[in-house]
Chain A
Amino acid sequence: QKEVEQDPGPLSVPEGAIVSLNCTYSNSAFQYFMWYRQYSRKGPELLMYTYSSGNKEDGRFTAQVDKSSKYISLFIRDSQPSDSATYLCAMEVNQFYFGTGTSLTVIP
């Protein structure tokens, strides 16, 4: 079983939709949870970084962590074409573990 599981998609939504991206994990020792956005032919860039269970909001983005269910989510409100990218979840305990990424396309 992989440490981190992420649905690769692809996911296609109309502009303005609410997007939900999810990851599950197996290691209850994970302490830090991240979401990275990766545009085509670019490196991953950090979007959200959380430590505890609960929600963290930053503009149109909300990161949610449920440690009891070993489940994290990223919500994007009012999605824009510029949000079209691959989103990777990542977790850390001693080292980083990445999901394989979900490809998102927002259609104008």
Chain B
Amino acid sequence: DAGVIQSPRHEVTEMGQEVTLRCKPISGHNSLFWYRQTMMRGLELLIYFNNNVPIDDSGMPEDRFSAKMPNASFSTLKIQPSEPRDSAVYFCASRPWDSNNSPLHFGNGTRLTVT
């Protein structure tokens, strides 16, 4: 079990640039979650998918953020244009959807710095 894989681990970009974060969930997990973590606000849910379908995107801050899950083994979170206040650690997590007794499994995150 390779775990949830995220790339890149670190991203430094200038304000206004497009940023794309990538996630590969654990094989067999059909629920995928994107979180943002900051010191001030802790872990915030941005969006989650069940069977590749977005279920709840109410946590996406604004239209600059978008997420896709084209297949069961890949998801992207895109920020366009990026702003300094987007600087945070972005985590992807997965779990089996049809299990009522399964916690989230997290990747090691992407640390985003927007200058």
Q: Could you tell me which A residues sit within 8 Å of B by CB distance?
A: 32, 34, 36, 41-46, 49, 51, 88, 90, 92, 95-96, 98-101
Contact = CB atoms under 8 A, between A and B. Distances in A.
Nearest to A35: B103
27 contacts: A32-B101, A34-B103, A36-B106, A41-B108, A41-B109, A41-B111, A42-B109, A43-B4, A43-B93, A43-B106, A43-B107, A43-B109, A44-B43, A44-B104, A46-B103, A46-B105, A49-B103, A51-B101, A90-B103, A95-B45, A96-B33, A96-B45, A96-B104, A98-B42, A98-B43, A100-B41, A101-B42
A45 B3 CA distance: 11
Is chain B's interface secondary structure helix, strand, loop, or mixed overall? strand
B106 A45 contact: yes
Contacts of A90: 103-104
Interface of B: 4, 33, 41-43, 45, 48, 56, 91, 93, 101, 103-109, 111
Contacts of A98: 42-43
B108 A43 contact: yes
Nearest to A92: B103
B19 to A, nearest CB: 19
A51 B45 CA distance: 22
